[in-house]
Amino acid sequence: MTLCTGCQAKEASRLECPHCKKLNIAGSFFCDQDCFKKNWGTHKLIHNIVKIAADNEDTKNSTLPASMRGYQFTGTLRPVYPLSAKREVPAHIERPDYADHPQGWSACEAVRERSVKILTQQEIEAMRTVCRLSREVLDITAAAIRPGITSDELDAICHQACIDRNCYPSPLNYNKFPKSVCISVNEVICHGIPDQRPLVEGDIVNLDVSLFYKGFHGDLNATYPVGKIDQESQDLIDTTKKAMEEAIALCKPGVPYREIGNKIESITKPKGFSVVRRYTGHGIHNLFHCNPNIVHYANSKMPGKMEVGQVFTIEPMINLGTANLDHWRDDWTAVTLDGRRSAQFEETILITENGAEILTRIPKKKKNNKKKNKKSGNGAAAAAGAAGGDDDDEVDTPVDTPNGAGTPVATD
């Protein structure tokens, strides 16, 4: 005879404690419902003991650092530790002032600015160079995106691409950020730290690449699908990129900075998406982050107007759900509070007399295909040329339009 778990006197019936069943605790049968209720106060202590033991076992086997254990993650993504060692930058490469500081502190950025810097022609040329190099590094890193690759492996690719161009990866040791690129997956809004988690089919991933070259920084990012993704995620990516593009298109001398946010939200709000308010675009040149602050949401009170010679980023972070966020206990990773996905795109732009030049896109010029088509004698090729327009070649001269080559989409 099996005795009742509660009174320990009567024979147990088939009435089993549902909590014990969930916790895989065998043999918790009671003689009747009244006995179960009467003994609940003492019986539930068993559940607590088992749960504590299970948590302790998980903690012992966890790769997470102690600071992150017990954190209530907002979504399904989990970091995979340990992180790889800090990647080295050869001594001959010029470094920003924070690169070797023990706290990653920039003395230059600590000096309070009262106005927005107007760049000289020489400084503008330096920005064109570093921004072109930044685009090259982003494209190289993005080309490696596929299911199975880890974000740490992508960080290694990005780091090496920077070194190959005699550039310092700006994120490395900036306020003690441990890696060379920010990689943000799914519900991570920004500042994701590359780790050992492999990307999986259906993820979305943002690469935020920044370079320091000959005293100046370049900064851009884009969100990519990992293999085939669901339509909701694709809509989020497409809408975020469109919002950035249209915000850039309105930029010209005399336009208030706050109009950027008004334009972005006019595109994202009808879709039911939200705009992150916590993080902004920023000025950039010899300083990594400086004035002006560029808010991406509507109806802000942000003062100031655009002037010729100013350089800043536009980088909206758009969420499927709430705009509210939380941070993992790693000092960096920002995640959506509801665990739903987030996307971001970023370009660095220069305000010109005619509008805005996108410094982080490699400009293109048109060439004449008529001779090529005539020589080939291929009717199909000629027809394709007529339907697709002229081919483009990359050159190093700027264009004052946001309608140049778009960010490529990575495929598996």
Q: Are 312 and 348 in contact (CB under 8 A)?
A: yes
| DSSP 8-state code for residue 3 | B
Q: Are 268 and 245 in contact (CB under 8 A)?
A: no
Q: Are 340 and 187 in contact (CB under 8 A)?
A: yes
How buried is 37 (Cβ within 10 angstroms: 0-12 exposed, 13-18 middle, 19+ buried)?
exposed
346 assigned binding-site residue: yes
CA 48 to chain centre: 39
Query: 203-229 b/e with 16+ CB inside 10 Å = b?
Result: bbbbbbbbbbbeebbbbbbbbbbbbeb
Q: Are 358 and 404 in contact (CB under 8 A)?
A: yes
Number of C-beta neighbours around residue 266 at 10 A:
13
Give the Cα separation of 5 and 40 in Å (integer): 10
CA 108 to chain centre: 26
Query: What SS3 class is residue 142?
Result: helix
Query: What SS3 class is residue 261?
Result: helix
Q: Are 284 and 290 in contact (CB under 8 A)?
A: yes
219 assigned binding-site residue: yes
Q: How far apart are the first and last CA of the chain?
A: 61
Look at the chain and count its residues: 412
92 assigned binding-site residue: no
289 assigned binding-site residue: yes
235 assigned binding-site residue: no
User: Residue 37: CB partners within 8 Å, gap ≥ 6?
Assistant: none
Give the Cα separation of 303 and 115 in Å (integer): 11
Q: Are 118 and 307 in contact (CB under 8 A)?
A: yes
Strand partners, 209: 220
191 assigned binding-site residue: yes
Of 355, 346, 350, 303, the closest CA to residue 117 belongs to 350
Q: Which residues are annotated as a binding site for a protein?
A: 191, 289
Q: Which residues are annotated as a binding site for Zn(2+)?
A: 208, 219, 282, 315, 346
Q: Which residues are annotated as a binding site?
A: 191, 208, 219, 282, 289, 315, 346
